[in-house]
Protein backbone atom coordinates (compact mmCIF):
# COMPACT_ATOMS: atom_id res chain seq x y z
CA UNK A 1 0.00 0.00 0.00
CA UNK A 2 2.85 2.39 0.83
CA UNK A 3 4.30 1.93 -2.65
CA UNK A 4 0.99 2.91 -4.27
CA UNK A 5 0.71 5.99 -2.06
CA UNK A 6 4.20 7.06 -3.17
CA UNK A 7 3.24 6.58 -6.83
CA UNK A 8 0.02 8.56 -6.34
CA UNK A 9 2.06 11.42 -4.83
CA UNK A 10 4.46 11.33 -7.77
CA UNK A 11 1.56 11.27 -10.25
CA UNK A 12 0.03 14.25 -8.45
CA UNK A 13 3.20 16.27 -8.90
CA UNK A 14 3.30 15.31 -12.58
CA UNK A 15 -0.33 16.38 -12.92
CA UNK A 16 0.48 19.78 -11.43
CA UNK A 17 3.12 20.15 -14.14
CA UNK A 18 0.57 19.15 -16.79
CA UNK A 19 2.69 16.20 -17.88
CA UNK A 20 1.18 13.84 -20.45
CA UNK A 21 -0.50 10.80 -18.92
CA UNK A 22 -0.39 12.17 -15.38
CA UNK A 23 -4.17 12.44 -15.10
CA UNK A 24 -4.76 8.86 -16.29
CA UNK A 25 -2.01 7.59 -14.02
CA UNK A 26 -3.53 9.34 -11.02
CA UNK A 27 -6.94 7.84 -11.75
CA UNK A 28 -5.60 4.31 -12.27
CA UNK A 29 -3.46 4.41 -9.14
CA UNK A 30 -6.38 5.68 -7.09
CA UNK A 31 -8.52 2.78 -8.29
CA UNK A 32 -5.65 0.38 -7.54
CA UNK A 33 -5.48 1.72 -3.98
CA UNK A 34 -9.22 1.19 -3.53
CA UNK A 35 -8.95 -2.37 -4.91
CA UNK A 36 -6.13 -3.10 -2.48
CA UNK A 37 -8.09 -1.85 0.53
CA UNK A 38 -11.58 -3.00 -0.44
CA UNK A 39 -13.03 -6.13 1.15
CA UNK A 40 -15.53 -8.26 -0.85
CA UNK A 41 -18.61 -6.84 0.88
CA UNK A 42 -17.50 -3.28 0.12
CA UNK A 43 -16.82 -4.23 -3.49
CA UNK A 44 -20.34 -5.63 -3.81
CA UNK A 45 -21.92 -2.58 -2.25
CA UNK A 46 -19.97 -0.23 -4.52
CA UNK A 47 -20.31 -2.22 -7.74
CA UNK A 48 -23.85 -3.53 -7.45
CA UNK A 49 -25.51 -0.88 -5.26
CA UNK A 50 -23.73 2.46 -5.12
CA UNK A 51 -22.66 2.77 -8.75
CA UNK A 52 -25.84 1.37 -10.39
CA UNK A 53 -27.86 3.54 -8.01
CA UNK A 54 -25.81 6.54 -9.11
CA UNK A 55 -26.52 5.73 -12.78
CA UNK A 56 -30.24 5.57 -12.10
CA UNK A 57 -30.18 8.83 -10.16
CA UNK A 58 -28.17 10.64 -12.83
CA UNK A 59 -30.62 9.47 -15.50
CA UNK A 60 -33.50 10.92 -13.46
CA UNK A 61 -31.54 14.14 -12.91
CA UNK A 62 -30.98 14.48 -16.67
CA UNK A 63 -34.73 14.12 -17.22
CA UNK A 64 -35.53 16.96 -14.81
CA UNK A 65 -32.44 19.04 -15.76
CA UNK A 66 -31.12 19.06 -12.21
CA UNK A 67 -27.53 19.73 -13.25
CA UNK A 68 -28.57 22.66 -15.43
CA UNK A 69 -30.46 24.22 -12.52
CA UNK A 70 -27.45 23.78 -10.23
CA UNK A 71 -25.09 25.25 -12.81
CA UNK A 72 -27.29 28.31 -13.36
CA UNK A 73 -27.04 29.60 -9.79
CA UNK A 74 -24.35 31.37 -7.82
CA UNK A 75 -22.23 29.87 -5.04
CA UNK A 76 -25.14 30.04 -2.60
CA UNK A 77 -26.51 26.76 -3.99
CA UNK A 78 -30.14 25.67 -4.34
CA UNK A 79 -32.36 24.24 -1.60
CA UNK A 80 -34.41 21.10 -2.10
CA UNK A 81 -37.62 23.15 -1.96
CA UNK A 82 -36.46 25.52 -4.71
CA UNK A 83 -35.30 22.63 -6.89
CA UNK A 84 -38.64 20.93 -6.38
CA UNK A 85 -40.39 23.98 -7.85
CA UNK A 86 -37.90 24.36 -10.70
CA UNK A 87 -38.04 20.70 -11.75
CA UNK A 88 -41.69 19.98 -10.91
CA UNK A 89 -40.45 16.89 -9.04
CA UNK A 90 -41.66 16.12 -5.52
CA UNK A 91 -39.20 16.53 -2.67
CA UNK A 92 -39.27 12.75 -2.06
CA UNK A 93 -37.59 12.05 -5.40
CA UNK A 94 -35.13 14.88 -4.94
CA UNK A 95 -34.32 13.35 -1.57
CA UNK A 96 -32.90 10.39 -3.46
CA UNK A 97 -30.32 12.83 -4.81
CA UNK A 98 -28.57 12.59 -1.45
CA UNK A 99 -26.71 9.68 -3.02
CA UNK A 100 -24.93 12.20 -5.25
CA UNK A 101 -23.09 13.60 -2.20
CA UNK A 102 -21.09 10.55 -1.04
CA UNK A 103 -20.45 9.76 -4.71
CA UNK A 104 -18.85 13.24 -4.98
CA UNK A 105 -20.95 14.33 -7.95
CA UNK A 106 -22.47 17.34 -6.15
CA UNK A 107 -21.97 18.78 -2.69
CA UNK A 108 -24.48 19.67 0.02
CA UNK A 109 -23.87 22.22 2.73
CA UNK A 110 -25.78 25.03 4.39
CA UNK A 111 -28.97 23.13 3.49
CA UNK A 112 -28.43 23.53 -0.24
CA UNK A 113 -27.23 21.59 -3.29
CA UNK A 114 -24.02 22.91 -4.88
CA UNK A 115 -22.67 22.12 -8.34
CA UNK A 116 -19.20 20.71 -8.93
CA UNK A 117 -16.94 20.79 -11.96
CA UNK A 118 -18.10 17.26 -12.75
CA UNK A 119 -21.84 17.98 -12.47
CA UNK A 120 -21.42 21.10 -14.62
CA UNK A 121 -19.83 18.89 -17.26
CA UNK A 122 -22.91 16.66 -17.29
CA UNK A 123 -25.53 19.36 -17.74
CA UNK A 124 -25.93 18.64 -21.45
CA UNK A 125 -24.46 15.13 -21.72
CA UNK A 126 -26.97 13.37 -24.00
CA UNK A 127 -24.84 10.19 -23.92
CA UNK A 128 -26.17 9.55 -20.40
CA UNK A 129 -29.59 8.92 -21.90
CA UNK A 130 -28.23 6.47 -24.45
CA UNK A 131 -26.15 4.49 -21.95
CA UNK A 132 -28.95 4.37 -19.41
CA UNK A 133 -31.64 3.30 -21.87
CA UNK A 134 -29.52 0.52 -23.32
CA UNK A 135 -27.64 -0.93 -20.33
CA UNK A 136 -29.79 -0.25 -17.29
CA UNK A 137 -33.44 -0.92 -18.17
CA UNK A 138 -34.42 -2.00 -14.68
CA UNK A 139 -33.19 1.09 -12.89
CA UNK A 140 -34.29 3.23 -15.81
CA UNK A 141 -37.91 2.39 -15.00
CA UNK A 142 -37.60 4.21 -11.68
CA UNK A 143 -39.20 7.50 -12.73
CA UNK A 144 -42.10 5.75 -14.51
CA UNK A 145 -43.02 3.09 -11.95
CA UNK A 146 -41.95 4.33 -8.53
CA UNK A 147 -45.45 5.39 -7.53
CA UNK A 148 -47.29 2.52 -9.24
CA UNK A 149 -46.49 -1.21 -9.12
CA UNK A 150 -42.83 -0.58 -8.42
CA UNK A 151 -39.85 -1.04 -10.70
CA UNK A 152 -39.29 -4.62 -9.61
CA UNK A 153 -42.80 -5.73 -10.59
CA UNK A 154 -42.56 -3.77 -13.82
CA UNK A 155 -39.33 -5.46 -14.92
CA UNK A 156 -40.18 -8.97 -13.72
CA UNK A 157 -43.54 -10.49 -14.74
CA UNK A 158 -44.83 -11.05 -11.20
CA UNK A 159 -47.13 -9.45 -8.68
CA UNK A 160 -45.19 -10.95 -5.77
CA UNK A 161 -43.06 -8.77 -3.48
CA UNK A 162 -39.31 -9.33 -3.77
CA UNK A 163 -38.83 -11.86 -0.98
CA UNK A 164 -41.90 -13.91 -1.86
CA UNK A 165 -40.62 -13.98 -5.44
CA UNK A 166 -37.21 -15.21 -4.26
CA UNK A 167 -38.84 -18.00 -2.27
CA UNK A 168 -40.93 -19.00 -5.30
CA UNK A 169 -37.78 -19.43 -7.41
CA UNK A 170 -35.26 -21.56 -5.44
CA UNK A 171 -32.34 -20.73 -7.70
CA UNK A 172 -32.80 -17.02 -7.03
CA UNK A 173 -33.16 -17.66 -3.31
CA UNK A 174 -29.90 -19.58 -3.28
CA UNK A 175 -28.10 -16.82 -5.18
CA UNK A 176 -29.52 -14.22 -2.82
CA UNK A 177 -28.22 -16.22 0.13
CA UNK A 178 -24.77 -16.33 -1.47
CA UNK A 179 -24.94 -12.60 -2.07
CA UNK A 180 -25.77 -11.92 1.59
CA UNK A 181 -22.85 -14.14 2.63
CA UNK A 182 -20.48 -12.13 0.46
CA UNK A 183 -22.06 -8.87 1.67
CA UNK A 184 -21.24 -9.74 5.26
CA UNK A 185 -17.73 -11.02 4.54
CA UNK A 186 -15.07 -9.08 6.42
CA UNK A 187 -17.53 -7.29 8.69
CA UNK A 188 -17.82 -7.59 12.45
CA UNK A 189 -20.83 -9.21 14.08
CA UNK A 190 -22.91 -7.31 16.64
CA UNK A 191 -22.22 -10.12 19.12
CA UNK A 192 -18.42 -10.06 18.73
CA UNK A 193 -16.52 -9.32 22.00
CA UNK A 194 -16.54 -5.67 22.97
CA UNK A 195 -19.17 -4.55 20.45
CA UNK A 196 -22.41 -5.02 22.34
CA UNK A 197 -23.70 -5.63 25.85
CA UNK A 198 -24.06 -9.41 25.52
CA UNK A 199 -21.24 -11.61 26.80
CA UNK A 200 -21.00 -15.21 25.51
CA UNK A 201 -24.48 -15.09 23.95
CA UNK A 202 -26.58 -18.11 23.03
CA UNK A 203 -27.44 -17.18 19.44
CA UNK A 204 -30.52 -18.41 17.59
CA UNK A 205 -30.88 -17.53 13.90
CA UNK A 206 -34.44 -17.11 12.68
CA UNK A 207 -35.61 -16.81 9.10
CA UNK A 208 -38.49 -17.90 6.93
CA UNK A 209 -38.93 -21.65 6.46
CA UNK A 210 -37.76 -21.62 2.85
CA UNK A 211 -34.50 -19.92 3.85
CA UNK A 212 -33.87 -22.17 6.84
CA UNK A 213 -34.46 -25.21 4.59
CA UNK A 214 -31.94 -24.02 2.02
CA UNK A 215 -28.21 -24.68 1.94
CA UNK A 216 -27.54 -21.02 2.76
CA UNK A 217 -27.59 -21.74 6.51
CA UNK A 218 -25.71 -25.04 6.56
CA UNK A 219 -22.57 -23.60 8.16
CA UNK A 220 -23.73 -20.73 10.35
CA UNK A 221 -22.36 -22.34 13.50
CA UNK A 222 -25.35 -21.83 15.79
CA UNK A 223 -28.96 -22.92 16.24
CA UNK A 224 -31.44 -22.05 13.51
CA UNK A 225 -35.23 -22.11 13.48
CA UNK A 226 -38.00 -21.09 11.12
CA UNK A 227 -39.96 -17.96 11.99
CA UNK A 228 -42.06 -15.54 9.96
CA UNK A 229 -41.73 -11.99 11.42
CA UNK A 230 -45.38 -11.36 10.53
CA UNK A 231 -46.34 -13.82 13.30
CA UNK A 232 -45.75 -13.68 17.06
CA UNK A 233 -42.17 -14.10 18.22
CA UNK A 234 -41.83 -17.57 19.86
CA UNK A 235 -38.77 -16.73 21.98
CA UNK A 236 -39.65 -14.81 25.13
CA UNK A 237 -37.53 -12.39 27.18
CA UNK A 238 -34.31 -12.66 25.16
CA UNK A 239 -31.58 -10.19 26.02
CA UNK A 240 -31.37 -8.98 22.43
CA UNK A 241 -33.49 -9.35 19.30
CA UNK A 242 -31.38 -8.38 16.29
CA UNK A 243 -32.99 -7.70 12.91
CA UNK A 244 -30.32 -7.29 10.27
CA UNK A 245 -31.52 -5.66 7.06
CA UNK A 246 -35.11 -6.68 7.79
CA UNK A 247 -37.29 -3.69 8.67
CA UNK A 248 -35.75 -1.46 6.02
CA UNK A 249 -36.76 -3.94 3.29
CA UNK A 250 -40.46 -3.54 4.08
CA UNK A 251 -43.05 -0.83 3.81
CA UNK A 252 -43.88 0.79 7.17
CA UNK A 253 -47.10 -1.20 7.72
CA UNK A 254 -45.29 -4.54 7.50
CA UNK A 255 -42.44 -3.28 9.65
CA UNK A 256 -44.92 -2.05 12.26
CA UNK A 257 -46.61 -5.46 12.28
CA UNK A 258 -43.27 -7.18 12.90
CA UNK A 259 -42.51 -4.85 15.81
CA UNK A 260 -45.97 -5.39 17.30
CA UNK A 261 -45.48 -9.16 17.09
CA UNK A 262 -42.21 -8.82 18.98
CA UNK A 263 -43.38 -6.36 21.63
CA UNK A 264 -45.32 -8.85 23.87
CA UNK A 265 -42.20 -10.99 24.26
CA UNK A 266 -39.86 -8.20 25.42
CA UNK A 267 -38.91 -8.23 29.11
CA UNK A 268 -39.20 -4.69 30.56
CA UNK A 269 -35.84 -3.21 31.51
CA UNK A 270 -33.95 -6.18 30.07
CA UNK A 271 -34.73 -7.03 26.45
CA UNK A 272 -33.34 -4.86 23.68
CA UNK A 273 -34.21 -4.82 19.98
CA UNK A 274 -31.88 -3.47 17.35
CA UNK A 275 -31.96 -3.18 13.58
CA UNK A 276 -29.24 -2.51 11.02
CA UNK A 277 -29.72 0.29 8.49
CA UNK A 278 -27.55 1.14 5.51
CA UNK A 279 -26.41 4.22 3.62
CA UNK A 280 -27.60 6.32 0.70
CA UNK A 281 -27.15 3.81 -2.14
CA UNK A 282 -29.96 1.81 -0.51
CA UNK A 283 -32.43 4.65 -1.14
CA UNK A 284 -32.69 3.79 -4.84
CA UNK A 285 -32.23 0.05 -4.34
CA UNK A 286 -35.21 0.00 -1.98
CA UNK A 287 -37.25 2.29 -4.20
CA UNK A 288 -36.67 -0.35 -6.89
CA UNK A 289 -38.60 -2.74 -4.60
CA UNK A 290 -41.34 -0.16 -3.84
CA UNK A 291 -40.07 0.69 -0.34
CA UNK A 292 -37.71 3.38 0.89
CA UNK A 293 -34.76 3.90 3.20
CA UNK A 294 -35.57 5.96 6.28
CA UNK A 295 -33.80 8.65 8.27
CA UNK A 296 -33.03 8.42 11.96
CA UNK A 297 -36.07 10.53 12.81
CA UNK A 298 -38.25 8.27 10.61
CA UNK A 299 -37.09 5.21 12.54
CA UNK A 300 -37.62 6.94 15.87
CA UNK A 301 -41.23 7.71 14.92
CA UNK A 302 -41.86 4.11 13.79
CA UNK A 303 -40.53 2.60 17.01
CA UNK A 304 -42.43 5.04 19.19
CA UNK A 305 -45.63 4.35 17.25
CA UNK A 306 -45.11 0.65 17.99
CA UNK A 307 -44.84 1.41 21.71
CA UNK A 308 -41.07 1.03 21.91
CA UNK A 309 -38.56 3.41 23.47
CA UNK A 310 -35.99 4.67 20.96
CA UNK A 311 -32.56 4.61 22.64
CA UNK A 312 -29.81 5.35 20.17
CA UNK A 313 -28.35 4.94 16.68
CA UNK A 314 -24.91 3.38 17.03
CA UNK A 315 -22.53 4.30 14.21
CA UNK A 316 -18.88 3.78 13.34
CA UNK A 317 -17.03 6.36 11.18
CA UNK A 318 -17.08 5.43 7.50
CA UNK A 319 -19.27 2.34 8.02
CA UNK A 320 -22.38 2.22 5.85
CA UNK A 321 -24.52 0.32 8.33
CA UNK A 322 -25.67 1.60 11.70
CA UNK A 323 -27.45 -0.16 14.57
CA UNK A 324 -30.69 1.24 15.97
CA UNK A 325 -31.31 0.28 19.58
CA UNK A 326 -34.68 0.32 21.32
CA UNK A 327 -36.51 -1.31 24.21
CA UNK A 328 -40.00 -1.68 25.67
CA UNK A 329 -41.41 1.69 26.68
CA UNK A 330 -42.16 2.12 30.38
| pLDDT tens-place string over residues 220-271 | 677 888 898 888 999 999 888 888 777 766 667 777 888 888 889 898 888 8
In this structure, the chain runs to a length of: 330
All structural domains of the chain with their residue ranges: 55-140, 162-328
DSSP 240-299: EEEEES-GGGS-HHHHHHHHHHHGGGPPTTT-EEEEEE--THHHHHHHHTT-----HHHH
Alpha carbon 252 to chain centroid, angstroms:
17
| Residue 235, pLDDT score | 92
Contacts of 77 (CB under 8 A, 6+ apart): 70, 109, 110, 112, 113, 114
Identify which of 323, 139, 158, 297 has the alpha carbon closest to the alpha carbon of residue 244: 323
Contacts of 235 (CB under 8 A, 6+ apart): 204, 241, 265
Q: Within 10 A of 37 (CB to CB), how many other CB atoms are there?
A: 10
DSSP labels for 158-216? --S-HHHHHHHSHHHHHHHHHHHHHHHTTPPPTTSTTTSS-SS---EEEE-HHHHTSGG
Q: With a cut of 70, list the residues of the chain below it in pLDDT.
A: 74, 91-96, 123-127, 130-131, 133-151, 178, 182-183, 185-188, 190, 193-200, 214-220, 248-251, 276-293, 316-321
Tens of pLDDT, residue by residue over 6-36, are 999 999 999 899 887 788 888 889 989 998 9
CATH fourth-level superfamily of 162-328: Vaccinia Virus protein VP39 (3.40.50.150)
The angle at the Cα of 121, spanning 117 to 122, to the nearest 5 degrees, equals 125
Measured CA to CA, the distance from residue 161 to residue 288 in angstroms comes to 11
**Phi, psi (degrees; rounded to nearest 5) at 215:** -75, -5
Encode burial over 115-140: b for 16+ CB neighbours within 10 A, e otherwise.
Answer: bbeebeebbeeeebeeebeeeeeebb
Nearest 5°: phi and psi at 106? -130, 170
Rounded to two decimals, the pTM is 0.57
Of the candidates 114, 27, 31, the residue with the CA atom closest to the CA atom of residue 78: 114
Instruction: Tell me the CATH number of domain 55-140, given options 2.60.40.1190, 1.10.10.10, 3.40.50.11720, 3.30.420.40.
Output: 1.10.10.10
Amino acid sequence: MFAIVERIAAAGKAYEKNESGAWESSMNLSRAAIALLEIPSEFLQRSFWAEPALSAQVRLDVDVQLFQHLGDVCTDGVTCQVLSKKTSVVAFLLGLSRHLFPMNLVTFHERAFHATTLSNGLDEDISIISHSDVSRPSFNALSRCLRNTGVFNHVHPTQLPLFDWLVAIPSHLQRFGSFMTAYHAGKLNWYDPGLYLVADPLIILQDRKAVISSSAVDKVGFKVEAHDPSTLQPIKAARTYSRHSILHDWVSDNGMRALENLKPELKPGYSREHSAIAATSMDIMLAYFSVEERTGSDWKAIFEQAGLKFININMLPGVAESVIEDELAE
